[in-house]
C-alpha cells in the first residue's frame, strides 16, 4: 500500500502562469550541441508520479513515451489522460475543423466515432511506459456535458471494456452521475474502475462526491482549485487554475487520502491548479501532511513566492540552464 503525489502536467513554458522562473529556470540555453535543461528529469527528482495532459490533445507516440520512461527513475509512474476522441467528441470535431476548414459533415461525424484502430494506436503509444512498469492509470476525463443516460452508460461500459487490462480512472462531472449514485457505482465497480474524486468550484449541476474509494485496487483524486470567479469566464483557459489551497483546505484531503491508502493497493493524488507552479507547492504541502518524504531541492524563487513551503523543503540557489 502506498500513495503517489504529483501534479497534472510538468511543462508550462509560456504565459503568465508559466513555471519558468519559479520551479524551472527562467531561460534555457540555445547553444548548439548542449542538451539544455530537462524539465522531466528535474520534476522526477521531486515527485514520483505525474499526470500527463499531452495524451489528451493527441494520440501518444511510442518514441516519445519511450523517452519519458528512460528519463525517469525506477518506481516513477505516469498516469495518462485518454485522447480527447474517447471522451470529448465535440472537442475532437472542433479541432478537426480548425485544422481542415470546411470539413464539417457526415464524414467528420464518422471519423469522430471511436474505432478499434484508435484503441490500438493509444495502446501502442503508451506501451513503452507500460512495459517499463511505469504506468499508473489511464484517466478518462469526461466533460460536464456528459450526463448520465442509458446511452452514456453504454458508451462508458464499452470504453472500460476496451481498456479493461489497464487501471482505469473515470472522472465524471455532471451531477446526474452522483444523483444516480448506485447505478454509477455498480457500473464502475463491475470493471474495477476508480471513480475519480475531484475538488473544483461547485455549481448547481456539479457532481457531488464522498471522496471515499469505490474499489480496493486503487484510489484517484484530482484537485483543480476553487477559482469560482474565473472558472467559466476567463481571458485564458489557464486562469481558472489560478488558485492556491491553504494548509487547512489541503488537510481535509490529506486525511481522506491517508485513510484511503490503508484500504487500497495504491492511491494517486494530483494537483491540477498549475498556474504559476501552485500545483507544485500544494503537492509538496500534501506530501508533508501525509508524512511522505520530500525529495530534491527547490529553487529559492519558488520558496520566496510561496513561503508556505519554506519550512518543508530544502532550498537551492536559482536553477540555471546547462551551458
Q: Residue ranges per domain, the chain? A: 2-316
* pLDDT digit string, tens, across residues 133-183: 999 999 999 999 999 999 999 999 999 999 999 999 999 999 999 999 999
Do the Cβ atoms of 321 and 301 come closer than 8 Å?
Answer: no
Q: How confident is the model at residue 27 (pLDDT cuts 50, 70, 90)?
A: confident
* pLDDT digit string, tens, across residues 44-80: 999 999 999 999 999 999 999 999 999 999 999 999 9
Q: Between 236 and 311, where is the model more confident?
A: 311
- CATH fold of the domain at 2-316: TIM Barrel (3.20.20)
Q: How confident is the model at residue 33 (pLDDT cuts 50, 70, 90)?
A: very low
Number of other CB atoms surrounding residue 86 within 10 Å: 22
Q: How confident is the model at residue 321 (pLDDT cuts 50, 70, 90)?
A: very low
Q: Which residues pair with 170 in a beta bridge?
A: 140, 195
Cβ neighbours of residue 160 under 8 Å, at least 6 residues apart?
140, 168, 170, 188, 191, 193
Lowest average pLDDT, out of 108-112, 261-265, 296-300, goes to 108-112
Number of other CB atoms surrounding residue 38 within 10 Å: 12
Q: Tell me the percentage of the chain whose pLDDT exceeds 70.
A: 88
* pLDDT digit string, tens, across residues 76-114: 999 999 999 999 876 655 565 555 555 555 655 556 678
- The shares of helix, strand and coil residues in the chain, as percent rounded to the nearest 5, are 40, 15, 45
To the nearest whole number, what is the mean pLDDT of the chain?
90
Q: How confident is the model at residue 223 (pLDDT cuts 50, 70, 90)?
A: very high
Q: How confident is the model at residue 318 (pLDDT cuts 50, 70, 90)?
A: low
Q: How confident is the model at residue 233 (pLDDT cuts 50, 70, 90)?
A: confident
Amino acid at each position: 500500500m502506498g500513495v503517489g503525489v504529483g501534479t497534472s502536467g510538468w511543462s508550462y513554458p509560456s504565459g503568465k502562469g508559466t513555471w519558468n522562473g519559479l520551479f524551472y529556470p527562467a531561460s534555457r540555453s540555445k547553444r548548439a550541441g548542449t542538451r539544455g535543461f530537462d524539465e522531466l528529469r528535474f520534476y522526477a527528482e521531486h515527485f514520483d508520479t505525474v499526470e500527463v495532459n499531452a495524451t489528451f490533445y493527441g494520440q501518444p507516440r511510442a518514441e516519445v513515451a519511450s523517452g519519458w520512461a528512460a528519463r525517469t527513475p525506477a518506481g516513477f509512474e505516469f498516469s495518462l489522460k485518454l485522447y480527447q476522441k474517447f471522451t470529448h467528441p465535440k472537442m475532437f470535431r472542433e479541432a478537426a475543423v480548425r485544422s481542415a476548414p470546411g470539413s464539417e459533415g457526415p464524414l467528420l461525424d464518422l471519423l469522430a466515432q471511436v474505432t478499434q484502430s484508435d484503441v490500438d494506436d493509444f495502446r501502442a503509444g503508451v506501451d513503452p511506459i507500460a512495459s517499463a512498469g511505469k504506468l499508473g492509470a489511464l484517466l478518462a476525463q469526461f466533460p460536464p456535458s456528459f450526463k448520465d443516460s442509458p446511452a452514456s452508460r453504454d458508451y462508458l461500459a464499452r470504453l472500460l471494456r476496451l481498456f479493461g487490462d489497464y487501471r482505469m480512472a473515470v472522472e465524471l462531472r455532471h451531477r446526474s452521475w452522483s444523483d444516480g449514485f448506485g447505478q454509477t457505482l455498480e457500473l464502475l465497480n463491475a470493471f474495477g474502475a476508480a471513480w475519480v474524486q475531484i475538488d473544483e468550484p461547485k455549481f448547481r449541476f456539479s457532481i457531488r462526491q464522498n471522496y471515499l474509494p469505490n474499489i480496493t485496487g486503487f484510489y484517484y483524486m484530482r484537485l483543480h482549485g476553487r477559482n469560482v470567479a474565473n472558472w467559466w469566464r476567463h481571458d485564458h483557459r489557464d486562469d481558472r487554475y489560478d488558485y492556491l489551497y491553504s494548509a487547512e483546505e489541503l488537510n481535509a484531503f490529506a486525511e481522506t487520502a491517508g485513510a484511503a491508502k490503508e484500504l487500497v493497493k495504491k492511491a494517486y493524488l494530483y494537483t491540477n491548479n498549475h498556474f504559476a507552479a501552485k500545483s507544485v507547492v500544494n503537492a509538496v504541502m500534501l506530501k508533508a501532511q501525509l508524512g511522505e518524504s520530500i525529495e530534491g531541492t527547490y529553487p529559492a524563487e519558488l520558496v520566496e513566492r510561496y513561503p508556505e513551503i519554506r519550512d518543508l523543503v530544502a532550498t537551492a540557489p536559482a536553477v540555471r540552464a546547462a551551458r
